[in-house]
Structure 1
Amino acid sequence: MNKNQLINFLTSLSEKETYYKKNPNHISSFYDKLEKRNIKTFGEVYSFSFDAEKEKQDNNKDITNLSQSVQFQISRQTRFSNVPLHVHDFVEMNIMYSGEATALILGKEIKFKKGNVCILDTNVPHTIKPLGEQDILINLIIQKKYFDTTMLSRLSNNGIISNFLLDAISNTQKHDKYIIFDCQNSNLLLNLVENLLCEYYNPSFCIKDTIDSYMILIFIELLKSHQENETSSYKSSNKIYIGEILQFIEKNYSNCTLESVSKEFLFHPNYLSRYIKQGTGLTFKEIIQKQRLNKACSLLKNSDLTINEICECIGYKNETFFYKKFKEHFNSTPKEYRDSNLSN
Structure 2
Amino acid sequence: MKISNFEELIRYLDEDTAEEKEILSSNSLGIRKMDNGNSIIINQDTKGISTSFPNEELTRNRFAIRRKYRYCTINEHRHEYIEIVYVLKGEFEQSIEGEKYKMKKGDFCIFDKNTRHASEAINKNHIVINILLTPKFFDGVFMHLLSDDNYISNFIVNTLYTMNSTQNFIKFHIDEGTTLHMILQNLLIEYFSESTRSKAAINGYLLILFAELSRALIKINEAAVDESQKVIKEKVLNYIRKNYKDINLKTMANYFNFHPSYLSNLIKKEFGKNLKDLLMEVRMAEACNLLENTNVTIEAIINEIGYVNNSYFYKIFKKQYGCTPIEYRNNIK
TM-score range, shorter chain: 0.5 to 0.7
Give the letter aligned to residue 216 of structure 1: L
Which residue is equivalent to 1:10?
13
Q: How far apart are residue 199 of structure 1 and its match?
A: 1.4
CA distance in 2, matches of 1:284, 1:164: 16
Q: Deviations over 1:276-315 (max 9, x none)?
A: xxxx66436349xxxxxxxxxxxxxxxxxxxxxxxxxxxx
Give the letter aligned to residue 49 of structure 2: V
For the 8 Å contact 1:79–1:133, the answer to whether it is kept is yes
SS of residue in 2 equivalent to 1:27: strand
CA distance in 2, matches of 1:171, 1:53: 21
Which residue is equivalent to 1:128?
119
Which residue is equivalent to 1:299?
none
Instruction: Identify if the C-alpha distance between structure 1 residues 30 and 44 changes in structure 2 by more than 3 Å, giving closer, same or farther.
Output: closer
CA distance in 2, matches of 1:96, 1:197: 12
Normalising by the residue count of structure 2, what TM-score does the alignment of the two structures yield? 0.58
Instruction: Identify if the C-alpha distance between structure 1 residues 284 and 36 changes in structure 2 by more than 3 Å, giving closer, same or farther.
Output: closer
Matched, 1:201 2:192: yes
Matched, 1:45 2:36: no
SS of residue in 1 equivalent to 2:103: strand
Matched, 1:283 2:303: no
Q: Deviations over 1:102-154 (max 9, x none)?
A: 1112212122222222111222222111111242111011111112222x211
Matched, 1:212 2:199: no
Q: How far apart are residue 25 of structure 1 and its match?
A: 3.6
Q: How far apart are residue 53 of structure 1 and its match?
A: 8.2
Give the letter aligned to residue 154 of structure 1: H
CA distance in 2, matches of 1:7, 1:123: 31
Give the letter aligned to residue 86 of structure 2: I
Cα RMSD over matched residues? 3.5
Matched, 1:73 2:64: yes
Which residue is equivalent to 1:36?
44
Which residue is equivalent to 1:155?
145
CA distance in 1, matches of 2:85, 2:225: 27
How many residue pairs get matched? Answer: 226
User: Can you give the 5+ residue segments of structure 2 that lack an aligned partner in the other structure?
Assistant: 228-265, 275-333
Give the letter aligned to residue 189 of structure 1: L
- 1:102 is aligned, of 93, 100, 113, to 93
Matched, 1:177 2:159: no
SS of residue in 1 equivalent to 2:124: coil
Q: How far apart are residue 176 of structure 1 and its match?
A: 3.7
Instruction: Identify if the C-alpha distance between structure 1 residues 142 and 172 changes in structure 2 by more than 3 Å, giving closer, same or farther.
Output: closer
SS of residue in 2 equivalent to 1:85: strand
CA distance in 1, matches of 2:182, 2:169: 22
Instruction: Identify if the C-alpha distance between structure 1 residues 241 and 141 changes in structure 2 by more than 3 Å, giving closer, same or farther.
Output: closer
For the 8 Å contact 2:106–2:173, the answer to whether it is kept is yes
For the 8 Å contact 1:181–1:222, the answer to whether it is kept is no
Instruction: Identify if the C-alpha distance between structure 1 residues 30 and 89 changes in structure 2 by more than 3 Å, giving closer, same or farther.
Output: closer
SS of residue in 2 equivalent to 1:83: strand
CA distance in 2, matches of 1:16, 1:223: 37
- 1:224 is aligned, of 176, 193, 215, to 215
For the 8 Å contact 2:96–2:115, the answer to whether it is kept is yes
SS of residue in 1 equivalent to 2:50: strand
Q: Deviations over 1:22-69 (max 9, x none)?
A: 53342359899843113xxxx302232211785xxxxxxxxxxxxx96
Which residue is equivalent to 2:284?
none
Q: How far apart are residue 77 of structure 1 and its match?
A: 0.3
For the 8 Å contact 1:2–1:198, the answer to whether it is kept is yes
The share of aligned pairs that are identical, in percent, is 22
Give the letter aligned to residue 8 of structure 1: R
Q: Deviations over 1:225-272 (max 9, x none)?
A: 2113346xx6xxxxx9959xxxxxxxxxxxxxxxxxxxxxxxxxxxxx
SS of residue in 1 equivalent to 2:49: strand
Normalising by the residue count of structure 1, what TM-score does the alignment of the two structures yield? 0.56
- 1:86 is aligned, of 70, 77, 83, to 77
Instruction: Identify if the C-alpha distance between structure 1 residues 37 and 162 changes in structure 2 by more than 3 Å, giving closer, same or farther.
Output: same
For the 8 Å contact 2:82–2:160, the answer to whether it is kept is no
SS of residue in 1 equivalent to 2:30: coil
User: Can you give the 5+ residue segments of structure 1 that lack an aligned partner in the other structure?
Assistant: 55-67, 235-239, 244-279, 288-344
Instruction: Identify if the C-alpha distance between structure 1 residues 183 and 79 changes in structure 2 by more than 3 Å, giving closer, same or farther.
Output: same
CA distance in 1, matches of 2:51, 2:183: 31
